[in-house]
Structure 1
Amino acid sequence: PEFTKDKGRIPLCLEATKKIVSEIGDTTAVFALICGPFTLAMHLAGSSFLTGMIENPDYAKELLAYCSGISMKMSEWYLETGAHAVAVVDPMTSQISPRHFKRFVTPTIEPLVNAVHERGGIITLFCCGNATKNIELMMQCRPDGIAFDEQVDLAMVAGLADKYNVCFEGNMALTTTLLFGSPEECVKEAAERIAIGGKRGYILSPGCDLPFDTPFYNLEAVGNYVQDGVVPEKNSGFLSLEEALKQCADSEEEDDDVKTEDGKIFIEIVTLDSEGCAPCQYMVESVRSVEPLFNGRIIWRETLIKSLSGIRRTQKLGVSTLPTMLINNEVVFDNIVPTKEELCAEINKRLK
């Protein structure tokens, strides 16, 4: 159907943005987040779109051009509400090579950036996961800023930001610091980030969406430190991450290895949360899609790092990037969503 502002949840989103702008817009920048063209194309065409770019590049470009047009419309409607900045959230671009980014993503982002600038708006680009290989290409699209998660090296980005005169935003750890750390640990990490990012063009922020249960006192501690230099009391009574993990271990609340019988394998997907993280979602779906082909010989689970037991599990496995897929406790796909053929090949190799 024709994409108009009166359909679905769009009116609700626009009305909510107007209210936010009227309440805090005179003192605080209001960012309107939209789904980026590449990730939107995957949502519409399915995970096969990744291989489809190679097998049918003309179709891929046609779909991406359509999605870029949708992003332009959403940007225009959000700017009409008084929002100051449009944040283009395109997490699935972490799954492709710089060559494919330049060929397929850049032509969809550049006109979007120009459209926002023509309307007097500010535009930023965000990619979650280990987007290191494409950070410079994101900057070359000439946005006002880029954002990234904790898997990307802040010092590296700071150097590129100075080269391209682009703001950069990130990248405090979501779970190990803001969710489970103490106010003192949160302020310590904030100070470390600011020391690296500096005070020219750097916006201190979480690396991605805050987990729902992130304590307000941790966020307040960071805000008070950044704005007024207030450092929390060391004896404030909050558990450190190390103490919290020890309590978790003592209570035996831990995800253990799964022992499999002969002729079966165990697949584990370590994620932030497949319900809210697009690369995590597609990695989980890749396992779901092949499971019926192996007639009960696959046992699998998703391990979320939004719990203390999940953090302990990832430490035990030596997993450092998300999402990661392990087969029989061996890392096989690290921050890359496998195709159906690739995943089946790895499973068959182990099932012999």
Structure 2
Amino acid sequence: MTPFERYQHMLNGEPVDIYPRTPILMQYAAEHIGSNYGAFASDHRVLVEANIACAKDFDFDQVSCISDPYRETSGFGAEIKYHENGVPECVTPPLADLDEIEDLEELTIPQTENSVRMKDRVDAIKAYKKQLGETYSILGWVEGPAALAGDLRGLTDFLMDLIDEPEYSAQLLDICTDTSIQFALEQIKAGADTIGIGDAICSQISPTSYDELIWSRQKRLVDAIRSAGASVRLHICGQTQHLWPKLKELDINIFDCDHMVDLQLARATFPPKVVLAGNLDPVGDIRNGTPDEIKAKLNHCIDLVGTQFMVNAGCEIPSGTPKENVVALCEPITPR
């Protein structure tokens, strides 16, 4: 099987030769080719070179366009500061002072072709498609409604708005959803077969706020991606079990499980068709563990989940991870 065939078979519930390997790499990938995080996040050519090198050197099944949370935020005018050895920084949340509904009515949703950083991600997908064809799955990426709202407003203000200003929050979340939809559709048009949705802040939101304000917007985003013919990978860092009663109703294909999530409970909660990915501790298991420990914990994950599974850590593979540990993570495992 080619990596793409293996990946698609898993999504379709069909037999695969080995479990697909879909780890998230950013700074690690940049350093693997002798570059740095700042170059990786600011230049799609570095991102593409790093991902392809890692996919071939470690035998991954997917290349990714994820780099940082601020692609869409920059489209709203945010200044992004790059760091060689750290995540890009949003200098000032662009909507920090827009705290009235009337302020939001003046906003214009950024168009991908007019935003340097949004266009750079689309250019990465086009480069992947040109260099790899149909050999690998190509993962596009958007910020989820809550994550983008938090990036635009500032996390503290956004979390307070959910409680104190629900009407304002609803309007902001609608703007964020519309932005993510058009950005996702541009990436699908460029050749992405899957769109990852990063909505990390949701792990810090109460079930009530999630059910009343977030879920319907996530659903609209997920449904738009699925209607365009792409698969959806939902990534929410942290503990998410308090959201599952509603979250499980989303029409997603893959759910990333962070390392503190109960995998057995996840398998019992989500529909059988949903592929679970994870959930080794990126630091404790992947960076600080041994190859034998990684393989043992990975096999334990498979015992808990069964066949609908993709190999991954709970989140990004961190910088400083020994090469032999990444090799161990991606060692082929035949479904039993």
| TM-score, normalising length: structure 1 | 0.61
After superposition, give the CA deviation of every residue in 1:17-64 in whole Å (9 maximum; x if it has no partner).
222234445233221121111011111112122121121111100000
State whether residues 109 and 179 of structure 2, in contact with CA within 8 Å, keep that contact through their aligned partners in structure 1. Answer: no
Letter in 1 for 2:182: K
CA distance in 2, matches of 1:149, 1:28: 24
State whether residues 128 and 138 of structure 2, in contact with CA within 8 Å, keep that contact through their aligned partners in structure 1. Answer: yes
After superposition, give the CA deviation of every residue in 1:214-248 in whole Å (9 maximum; x if it has no partner).
2232122222242699xxxxxxxxxxxxxxxxxxx
Which of 102, 107, 112 is residue 221 of structure 2 equivalent to? 112
* 1:3 has 2:117 as partner: no
CA distance in 2, matches of 1:155, 1:28: 29
1:73 matched to which residue of 2? Answer: 182
CA shift in 2, pair 1:2/1:49, >3 Å: closer
Following superposition of structure 1 onto structure 2, how do residues 101-250 of structure 1 map, counting pairs within 5 Å? 101-162=210-271, 165-199=273-307, 201-226=308-333
* 1:16 has 2:136 as partner: no
After superposition, give the CA deviation of every residue in 1:275-301 in whole Å (9 maximum; x if it has no partner).
xxxxxxxxxxxxxxxxxxxxxxxxxxx
State whether residues 122 and 186 of structure 2, in contact with CA within 8 Å, keep that contact through their aligned partners in structure 1. Answer: yes
CA shift in 2, pair 1:211/1:98, >3 Å: same
CA RMSD of the aligned region, Å? 1.9
CA shift in 2, pair 1:83/1:185, >3 Å: same
CA distance in 1, matches of 2:190, 2:112: 12
Q: Which has the higher contact order (CA 8 A, sep 6+)?
A: 2
- Segments of 4+ in structure 1 off by > 6 A? none
State whether residues 139 and 146 of structure 1, in contact with CA within 8 Å, keep that contact through their aligned partners in structure 2. Answer: no
Higher Cα Rg: structure 1 or 2?
Answer: 1
CA shift in 2, pair 1:60/1:92, >3 Å: same
State whether residues 150 and 207 of structure 1, in contact with CA within 8 Å, keep that contact through their aligned partners in structure 2. Answer: yes
Please list every run of 5 or more consecutive structure 2 residues that lacks an aligned counterpart in the other structure: 1-107
What SS does the aligned partner of 2:137 have? Answer: coil
State whether residues 39 and 92 of structure 1, in contact with CA within 8 Å, keep that contact through their aligned partners in structure 2. Answer: yes
Letter in 1 for 2:323: F
State whether residues 35 and 89 of structure 1, in contact with CA within 8 Å, keep that contact through their aligned partners in structure 2. Answer: yes
1:100 matched to which residue of 2? Answer: 209
After superposition, give the CA deviation of every residue in 1:109-139 in whole Å (9 maximum; x if it has no partner).
1111111111111112111111111133222
Residue 99 of structure 1 and its aligned partner are, at CA, apart by 1.4
Letter in 2 for 1:154: L
After superposition, give the CA deviation of every residue in 1:285-342 in whole Å (9 maximum; x if it has no partner).
xxxxxxxxxxxxxxxxxxxxxxxxxxxxxxxxxxxxxxxxxxxxxxxxxxxxxxxxxx
State whether residues 193 and 204 of structure 1, in contact with CA within 8 Å, keep that contact through their aligned partners in structure 2. Answer: no
